Structure 1
């Protein structure tokens, strides 16, 4: 099994059984992510070097307009896609095996957690992993200490208030608050 095989399985929403060859590739890739984020977070880097490390982590080109304030952690890295003019504030944690896509002009607040994997509920299969992507539209503002759960899509221009837990899809231009997050109102303008 290769990383390409694993990414195909993850992007297809296939279950990754515990102790399978796919799981082994995932673990190997996670070790690389830990090495890269360790370097990223271990000392000060100029913004250009931060983007270089982020590109190494994701395996994708990172636009020069992207800004990341470390520390940043990802336990996989290879399934993150960032648009242009994205700002990731300090303390973000991405569990990206299932896929994280962040559109242009997004602001991601301190300590945001984005999860894209669930474990199986059955005790006998608890080690199995079920991937489900998180898609964040354009011009979304996510406040500090927000958690976004697997399978959530957030529409363009939405705002997620600080400390919210997003458990379901968010319409465009919605202002979401709480745990679980609910629509407070529509964002105007």
Structure 2
């Protein structure tokens, strides 16, 4: 873990580092990263071996994966700038705030827009959209959009 933290803060997040090198670094530390994945500058990954990214995904600037449990991202997914995908949490009912980690799944074709937050235990459905600034507390069904705190169905692609 210490080696990963040093690598992340001194190499991985650098602006000039090409995306292909970021994917190689993540794979070296145990992440599963598909082909055609673009990882922009400033991305943070808490535990790389708990991260799985499918093919042809776009991970925007300053995205943060807080992945105490596995975060699984399908193919053709866009996670926009400054979004946080978090699989770690605490049980607020516990006096010692025991861990309450739950995995997160983002299915194929989903889009997590600018500055959105996805919380532990959530599944984002296939081709679903999380609008900018939203906080996802409950799973979204396939072909839906979270906007203004409300879930709306959207038409599947033709």
Q: TM-score, normalised by structure 1?
A: 0.76
Matches within 5 A, 1:1-189: 29=1, 31-38=2-9, 39-57=11-29, 59-122=30-93, 124-126=95-97, 128-178=98-148, 181-189=149-157
How far the C-alpha of 1:32 sits from its partner, in A, is 3.5
Counterpart contact for 1:177–1:184, Cα < 8 Å: yes
Q: Contact 1:79–1:99 at 8 Å: present in 2 too?
A: yes
Q: Deviations over 1:116-171 (max 9, x none)?
A: 11113246312x31210110000001100000000001110101111010000100
Q: Provide the C-alpha distance between the structure 1 equivalents of 2:71 and 2:54, rounded to a whole number of angstroms.
A: 11
Whichever of the two has the greater Rg, that structure is 1
How many residue pairs end up in the alignment? 156
2 CA distance for matches of 1:175 and 1:33?
35
Q: Which runs of 4+ in 1 moved over 4 A?
A: none
Can you give the 5+ residue segments of structure 1 that lack an aligned partner in the other structure?
Answer: 1-28
